[in-house]
C-alpha cells in the first residue's frame, strides 16, 4: 500500500506541475484578450481625455503583461493563430559601393531587433539571397507590423527657421506664382499659394490634408527660391478644429544630431504643462554620454529657437528650446491617447535605422479567422477521435477500458503541458502529432490488456495477471515507441515549420506515453486492488 501511495503522490505532483505550466497559456489566449477587448471598447467610448489616458495606461500595462506571459506560454504557429509572410528587398540604388556591400546584413539585424522588441514570439527572420529578407510573424496586426518593419527610422535633430523668415519665404513663393499665374491656366484654377496656408494653434503654419498634394506640388515647383541650406518639411496628419491638417516647417538641411546618438527611449504619458498635450503619450529620449555634451552645446546656443525632431523626413515635434539642456534628454510627442504609437516609435528608435529603404516584393497573410478555424477543426478532430477511442476501449475491454481512457486523457494533458513548459510552437503539424500520439497510446494499452487476458486464461490471480501483463508488454511498448522516436528524430533535426512541429509533438508524446501507459494506468490498477476486494477483473 505504501508503494501505491507514493505512485499516487507522484501523479498528483505531476498534475499540479502540468496545471502550473498550462496556466500562462490560459491567461494568454483567454483572460488577456477578453481584458484587452474590454479596454479598447472603453477607450472608444471614453468621454474625457483623462479617462482615455487612464485606459491607455491600462492597455500599456496589459501589453507589458502579455509580453511577460507569452514567454511562459505555449505558442501558436502562423497556420493556427494567423499572421503574415513577407519578403523584403533592400533598395541599394542610392548607396555607395561600400555601403551596399553589407546593407542586407545590416537590414536583417535592424529588422530582427525591431521584431524582438515588438513582442512577436517564434518569428522566422532570415536572409533570402543577397538583398532579400524573409519574415514570418504569427499573431500580429498586419498593417502595424508592416509599418514598423519597413520604416527607415532615420532620426534627426534640426533647427527650425524663425516664423518671420518662414513667412517671408512663403510670401516670395506666393509672389512668384502670382507673376506666372496669368500664363498658366492650371495655376489659376488651383488658387494662389498663400491661400492654402492656415495657422495651427497660433504657432505653426500648415495646410489641410485635402490640399496637401496640390500644395506640395507647388512647393516643389518653387524649390529654387528656397535657400540652399534649408528645406520645407511637413508634420504628420493631425486633427485641428475638426479638420485634418499637416504642419509646415522650414528647417536646416544639416542635422545637429542623428538617431545614432540615442542610447535609450521609453514611452510614457505626458506630464508637462502644455494643455494641448494633456492626456497624450510621449517618447522620452536619452542621448549617449558622448553626444550629451554636443546636445547641451546646441541647445545652449539656440535658446528661444525651435529644434525639430524629425523621423524619416516627418517632423514629429518642434519644441522651443527654453534653456540649455545638459542631461542629454529630449522628448517626442505623439499627440495620441493610445499608447501604441508611442510604443512603436520607441521600438524604431531603440533598434536603429535601416541602411536603406526596403520594398515588399512578396506578401502573404493568414487571417486570424482562418487560423482560428484551423484550431477549431483540429481540436474537433482530436476530440472526436478521442471519444471514438474511449467508446471502443470500453466496448472491447469493459471497465478496464476506463483505465485506458484515463491514461489517454493524461497523455494528452501532460503532452500539452510539456509543450507549454518548453515554450514550443504548436502548428497544424503539431496537432497531427497529437492525433498520432493518441493512436500510439491506445496501441500500448491494447498490448497490456491482451497480455493480462492471456495471464487470466492461465488461471493466474488478478494481481499476478496484472503484474505479468505489464512486465511482458513493457519490452514491446518500449521497442515500438523508441523505434518511432528514432525514425522521427531526422524530421526534427532537418525539418522546419509544421514538419518540425509534428516531430516535436510526436517525440514528446511518445515519451509521455511510456509514463502514462506503463506507470499511471498501473497505479490505477494497484490503487483499485488495494482499496477494493476485486474477485473478478472485467477486461472484455
296 and 419 fall within a common domain: no
Q: Are strands 75-76 and 425-426 parallel, antiparallel or unpaired?
A: parallel
- In this prediction, residue 226 carries a pLDDT of 92
In a domain, 540, yes or no: no
Query: What is the overall mean pLDDT for the chain?
Result: 83
Supply φ then ψ for residue 321, to 5 degrees: -75, 110
Last residue of a domain, one of 322, 353, 384: 353
Return d(Cα 519, Cα 414) in angstroms, integer.
14
In a domain, 192, yes or no: yes
227 and 302 fall within a common domain: yes
Q: Rounded mean pLDDT of 182-192?
A: 55
Angle at 355 between CA 125 and CA 90, to 5 degrees: 55
346 and 371 fall within a common domain: no
417 and 280 fall within a common domain: no
207 and 313 fall within a common domain: yes
Query: Where is mean pLDDT largest: 72-81, 154-163, 375-384, 461-470?
Result: 154-163
Last residue of a domain, one of 306, 325, 353: 353
Q: When comparing pLDDT for 347 and 67, which is higher?
A: 347
In a domain, 539, yes or no: no
Give the CATH number, domain containing residue 446: 1.20.1640.10
Contacts of residue 115, defined as CB under 8 A and 6 or more positions apart, other chains included, come to 123, 125, 135, 137, 149
159 and 144 fall within a common domain: no
Q: Is the pTM of this model over 0.95?
A: no
Describe the strand order of the beta sheet including 281-287 as a list of residue ranges.
262-269, 281-287, 329-333
146 and 207 fall within a common domain: no
Lowest pLDDT segment from 109-118, 304-313, 502-511? 109-118
Q: Identify the helix (H) or strand (E) that includes residue 38.
A: helix 32-44
Return d(Cα 397, Cα 409) in angstroms, integer.
17
pLDDT in tens, 59-90: 777 777 777 787 788 887 777 777 788 888 88
In a domain, 258, yes or no: yes
Domain that holds residue 327: 155-353
Supply φ then ψ for residue 380, to 5 degrees: -60, -45
Lowest pLDDT segment from 297-306, 361-370, 479-488? 361-370
In a domain, 264, yes or no: yes
288 and 272 fall within a common domain: yes
21 and 35 fall within a common domain: yes
Decide if pLDDT at 304 tops 60: yes
pLDDT in tens, 250-265: 999 999 988 888 888 8
Share of the chain above pLDDT 70, in %: 94
Confidence of residue 369 (pLDDT cuts 50, 70, 90): low
- In this prediction, residue 258 carries a pLDDT of 86
Q: Domains in the chain: how many in total?
A: 4
- In this prediction, residue 189 carries a pLDDT of 47
pLDDT in tens, 263-303: 888 888 888 777 777 778 888 888 888 888 888 999 999 99
Q: Rounded mean pLDDT of 517-529?
A: 84
- In this prediction, residue 166 carries a pLDDT of 92
Confidence of residue 229 (pLDDT cuts 50, 70, 90): very high
Return d(Cα 516, Cα 408) in angstroms, integer.
8
State the DSSP code for 119.
T
- In this prediction, residue 19 carries a pLDDT of 92
Q: Which residues of 297-316 are buried (b: 16+ CB within 10 A; e: fewer)?
A: ebbeebeeebbbbbbeeebb
Return d(Cα 189, Cα 218) in angstroms, integer.
13
147 and 169 fall within a common domain: no
Contacts of residue 459, defined as CB under 8 A and 6 or more positions apart, other chains included, come to none
In a domain, 411, yes or no: yes
- In this prediction, residue 183 carries a pLDDT of 59
393 and 436 fall within a common domain: yes
518 and 373 fall within a common domain: yes
Share of the chain above pLDDT 90, in %: 13
Q: Rounded mean pLDDT of 432-436?
A: 85
Lowest pLDDT segment from 30-44, 229-243, 317-331? 30-44
In a domain, 306, yes or no: yes
Determine how many CB atoms are found less than 10 A away from the CB of residue 293: 12
- In this prediction, residue 188 carries a pLDDT of 47
Dig out the grid coordinates for 149 from the structure.
518593419
- In this prediction, residue 413 carries a pLDDT of 92
Closest CA to 112 of 155, 67, 149, 139: 149
Give the CATH number, domain containing residue 133: 3.30.70.3400
In a domain, 207, yes or no: yes
Is the distance from CB of 462 to CB of 390 less than 8 angstroms?
Answer: no
Confidence of residue 371 (pLDDT cuts 50, 70, 90): low
Last residue of a domain, one of 21, 40, 73: 73
- In this prediction, residue 319 carries a pLDDT of 85
Give the CATH number, domain containing residue 297: 3.30.1360.200
Helix, strand, coil share (%) of the chain residues, nearest 5: 60, 20, 20
Lowest pLDDT segment from 175-189, 277-291, 360-374, 500-514? 175-189
Contacts of residue 86, defined as CB under 8 A and 6 or more positions apart, other chains included, come to 134, 135, 136, 137, 146, 149, 360, 362, 363
Q: Identify the helix (H) or strand (E) that includes residue 382.
A: helix 368-421
Decide if pLDDT at 1 tops 70: no
Amino acid at each position: 500500500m505504501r508503494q501505491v501511495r507514493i505512485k499516487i503522490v507522484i501523479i498528483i505532483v505531476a498534475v499540479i506541475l502540468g496545471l502550473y505550466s498550462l496556466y500562462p497559456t490560459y491567461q494568454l489566449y483567454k483572460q488577456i484578450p477578453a481584458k484587452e477587448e474590454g479596454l479598447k471598447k472603453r477607450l472608444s467610448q471614453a468621454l474625457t481625455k483623462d479617462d482615455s489616458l487612464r485606459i491607455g495606461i491600462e492597455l500599456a500595462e496589459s501589453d507589458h503583461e502579455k509580453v511577460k506571459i507569452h514567454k511562459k506560454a505555449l505558442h501558436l504557429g502562423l497556420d493556427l493563430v494567423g499572421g503574415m509572410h513577407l519578403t523584403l528587398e533592400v533598395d541599394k540604388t542610392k548607396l555607395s559601393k561600400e555601403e551596399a556591400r553589407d546593407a542586407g546584413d545590416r537590414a536583417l539585424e535592424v529588422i530582427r531587433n525591431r521584431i524582438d522588441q515588438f513582442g512577436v514570439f517564434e518569428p522566422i527572420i532570415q536572409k533570402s539571397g543577397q538583398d532579400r529578407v524573409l519574415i514570418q510573424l504569427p499573431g500580429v496586426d498586419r498593417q502595424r507590423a508592416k509599418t514598423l518593419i519597413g520604416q527607415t527610422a532615420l532620426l534627426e535633430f534640426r533647427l527650425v527657421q524663425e516664423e518671420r523668415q518662414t513667412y517671408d519665404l512663403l510670401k516670395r513663393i506666393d509672389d512668384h506664382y502670382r507673376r506666372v499665374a496669368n500664363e498658366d491656366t492650371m495655376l489659376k484654377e488651383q488658387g494662389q499659394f498663400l491661400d492654402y496656408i492656415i495657422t495651427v494653434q497660433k504657432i505653426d503654419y500648415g495646410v489641410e490634408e485635402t490640399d496637401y498634394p496640390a500644395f506640395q506640388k507647388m512647393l516643389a515647383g518653387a524649390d529654387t527660391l528656397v535657400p540652399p541650406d534649408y528645406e520645407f518639411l511637413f508634420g504628420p496628419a493631425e486633427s485641428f478644429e475638426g479638420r485634418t491638417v499637416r504642419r509646415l516647417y522650414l528647417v536646416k538641411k544639416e542635422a545637429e544630431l542623428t538617431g545614432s546618438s540615442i542610447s535609450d527611449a521609453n514611452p510614457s504619458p505626458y506630464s508637462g504643462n502644455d494643455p494641448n498635450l494633456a492626456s497624450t503619450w510621449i517618447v522620452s529620449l536619452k542621448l549617449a554620454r558622448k553626444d550629451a555634451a554636443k546636445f547641451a552645446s546646441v541647445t545652449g546656443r539656440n535658446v528661444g529657437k525651435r529644434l525639430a525632431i524629425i523621423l524619416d523626413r516627418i517632423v514629429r515635434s518642434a519644441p522651443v528650446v527654453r534653456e540649455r539642456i545638459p542631461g542629454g534628454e529630449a522628448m517626442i510627442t505623439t499627440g495620441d491617447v493610445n499608447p501604441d504609437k508611442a510604443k512603436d516609435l520607441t521600438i524604431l528608435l531603440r533598434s536603429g535605422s535601416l541602411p536603406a529603404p526596403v520594398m515588399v516584393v512578396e506578401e502573404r497573410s493568414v487571417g486570424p479567422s482562418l487560423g482560428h478555424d484551423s484550431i477549431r477543426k483540429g481540436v474537433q478532430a482530436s476530440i472526436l477521435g478521442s471519444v471514438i477511442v474511449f467508446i471502443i476501449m470500453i466496448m472491447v475491454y469493459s471497465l478496464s477500458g476506463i483505465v485506458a481512457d484515463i491514461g489517454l486523457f493524461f497523455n494528452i494533458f501532460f503532452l500539452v503541458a510539456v509543450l507549454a513548459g518548453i515554450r514550443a510552437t504548436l502548428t497544424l503539424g503539431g496537432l497531427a502529432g497529437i492525433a498520432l500520439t493518441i493512436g500510439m497510446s491506445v496501441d500500448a494499452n491494447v498490448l497490456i490488456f491482451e497480455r493480462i487476458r492471456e495471464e487470466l486464461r492461465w488461471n493466474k490471480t488478478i494481481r499476478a495477471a496484472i503484474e505479468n501483463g505489464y512486465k511482458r508488454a513493457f519490452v514491446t511498448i518500449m521497442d515500438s515507441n523508441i523505434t518511432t522516436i528514432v525514425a522521427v528524430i531526422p524530421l526534427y533535426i532537418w525539418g522546419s515549420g509544421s514538419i518540425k512541429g509534428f516531430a516535436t509533438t510526436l517525440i514528446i508524446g511518445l515519451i509521455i506515453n511510456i509514463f502514462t501507459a506503463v506507470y499511471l494506468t498501473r497505479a490505477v490498477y494497484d490503487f483499485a486492488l488495494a482499496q477494493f476486494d476485486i474477485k473478478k477483473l472485467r477486461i472484455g
